[in-house]
Amino acid sequence: MYDRFLEFINQNALLKNGDRVLLAVSGGMDSMAMAELFRQSEFQYSIAHCNFQLRGKDADDDETFVKSYASDLQLDFFSKKFDTATYAKQKKISVQMAARELRYAWLEEVREHNGCQAVATAHHFNDSIETLFINILRGTGVSGLKGIPKKNQCVIRPLLFATREEILTFIQKQGLRFREDASNLKEKYLRNKVRHRLMPMLREINPSLAETLRHFFDRMEAAEAFYQNTIKNQQKYFLRFSENATEILIDQLIEQAFPETMLYESLKGYGFSPSQSRDIFNNLHAQAGKTFESASHTLVKDRETLIICPREATNLPSEHKIDEAIFNLDCGKHSFRFDTGKVDEEFELPKKATTLMADKDKLAFPLLLRQWQPGDKLIPLGMKGHKKVSDILIDKKIPMPQKKDIMVLLSGNEIVWVPGIAAAEGFKITKDTSDYFMAMIH
């Protein structure tokens, strides 16, 4: 078992000499077997334990057991209690999904803070088989057919070579103690139904199921790599990335051989489900402004693009009063500088919309800086009639998600400036101007 353990790590480049590993140890049979294999190795490692507080005293006893094990071996030990049930309710997800999210987020935090190169979990080959059928039952794509990945960023699974039966044999030969989790027998969980009902039937049909699926996983891993490479090569034709958003060019997407598949593969990394992706695809020609949300991102259908931005609360205050003093202002995603001065022979008008230069004597202080509102209008420089701010934003092709961040600067009830977009005709510098007022985005 130990030789196969090292061979699996080396063949799959899970670790290299000198790496420090954080072991996720529940106290169950699998994680205690993993801990013993690392004890026999030359790798440096620490122990981490998650208490999800879902099984009362049993959960606390598990934590005590693992802590005692780490103490006996003089290993660094990290543990944390989670209010998993409350988290699941707040996120509107299953308790199992909540535990998974909490576990991996905390393990990554501990790994980073303690100089570990990897987090090791004790998933084994039977887990991978069960995951395959769970994925199929839920309607997986190609990526769900390769089982549990051996490595995912900093998370490694060094026991995936071994079956549950092989691990039990190893535990017994080594005389290792472990904790039984009674919830593994409850068939209210899908995984347990697959484990206790489906798997025995499949093994009866194919006694060599494990070996058959080893080869299947290898083929699917290669197929998925080829598939993802193809997706990536095609995405360059319809994906555009900026600092705060991802854009999908609708016309270019539709030109792809399998546009709906391309859309799903491009959206799933932003948390959108297959059904959401299908709905978005069916609305590619819908009116601009239609919005879809995942747990982490918002997608807005614009005129020619789909715009994906992180979900975040807008922190823009309702309004700011601007007096004649020179000062800087941080306002949401914007930073402004305000200044005044004399119009003399060295004065030059700005050439960029990010700077306003207005006749100070035409302004009624304090000015008001606020978010734009439907119905806002101004007479843009060089024009004679009013134009709605909403129409100006359309003309400037401002993406829908960015419109909520647009602000306006007002003198009394009149708009002087739409920062970065347009200035008003009535407040411009003329030959009769003696003092200027400057506002600049920086």
Each of the 442 residues of the chain gets a pLDDT tens digit; together they read 999 999 999 999 999 988 999 999 999 999 999 999 999 999 999 999 999 999 889 999 999 999 999 999 999 999 999 999 999 988 888 898 899 999 999 999 999 999 999 999 999 999 999 999 999 998 888 888 999 999 999 999 999 999 999 999 999 999 999 998 777 767 777 889 999 999 999 999 999 999 999 999 999 999 999 999 999 999 999 999 987 789 999 999 999 999 999 999 999 899 898 889 999 999 998 888 788 988 788 898 988 999 998 876 444 456 888 888 767 887 766 789 898 999 987 788 887 888 999 999 999 999 999 989 889 999 999 998 999 999 999 888 887 767 877 899 999 999 999 999 999 999 999 999 999 999 998 7
Q: Are residues 355 and 254 in the same domain?
A: no
Q: Is 236 a domain residue?
A: no
CATH code for position 199: 3.40.50.620
Residue 334 and residue 419 in contact, taking contact as beta carbons nearer than 8 Å: yes
Q: Is 229 a domain residue?
A: no
The helix or strand, by DSSP H or E, that contains position 13, with its residue range, turns out to be none
Q: Are residues 327 and 350 in the same domain?
A: yes
pLDDT at 333: 65
Q: Are residues 65 and 191 in the same domain?
A: yes
Q: Is 238 a domain residue?
A: no
For residue 148, what are its two tokens? 């549990």
Look up tokens 């701010």; give the residue: 389
Q: Is 33 a domain residue?
A: yes
Total domains, the chain? 3
For residue 350, what are its two tokens? 């700005």
Look up tokens 């660094």; give the residue: 76
Task: State the DSSP string of 111-165.
Answer: HHHTT-SEEE----HHHHHHHHHHHHHHT--GGGGS-S-SEETTEE-TTTTS-HH
Q: Is 166 a domain residue?
A: yes
Task: List the one residue out of 6, 102, 124, 119 whose CA is nearest residue 50.
Answer: 102
Q: Are residues 432 and 330 in the same domain?
A: yes
Q: Are residues 192 and 328 in the same domain?
A: no
For residue 258, what are its two tokens? 């399998």
Range of the domain at 46: 2-221
* Last residue within a domain, chosen from 221, 238, 270: 221
Q: Are residues 209 and 76 in the same domain?
A: yes
Q: Are residues 143 and 109 in the same domain?
A: yes
Global confidence as pTM = 0.66
pLDDT at 316: 44
CATH code for position 371: 3.50.40.10
Give the list of residues 6+ apart from residue 86 with CB closer than 8 angstroms, or none.
none
Rg (CA), the chain: 30
* Last residue within a domain, chosen from 205, 221, 237: 221
Phi then psi for residue 166, to 5 deg, are: -65, -35
pLDDT at 349: 86
Q: Are residues 323 and 427 in the same domain?
A: yes
Q: Are residues 204 and 291 in the same domain?
A: no
pLDDT at 330: 75
Q: Are residues 347 and 384 in the same domain?
A: yes
Q: Is 231 a domain residue?
A: no
* Last residue within a domain, chosen from 186, 221, 256: 221
Q: Are residues 394 and 265 in the same domain?
A: no
pLDDT at 143: 85
Look up tokens 């090569």; give the residue: 233
Q: Is 230 a domain residue?
A: no
Exposure string (b/e) for 10-39, b if CB count within 10 Å is 16 or more? eeeebbeeeebbbbbbbbbbbbbbbbbbbe
pLDDT at 312: 62
The vertex-102 CA angle with 90 and 155, nearest 5°, equals: 150
Q: Are residues 335 and 420 in the same domain?
A: yes
> Exposed (0-12), middle (13-18) or buried (19+): which is 352, by Cβ within 10 Å?
exposed
> Exposed (0-12), middle (13-18) or buried (19+): which is 58, by Cβ within 10 Å?
middle
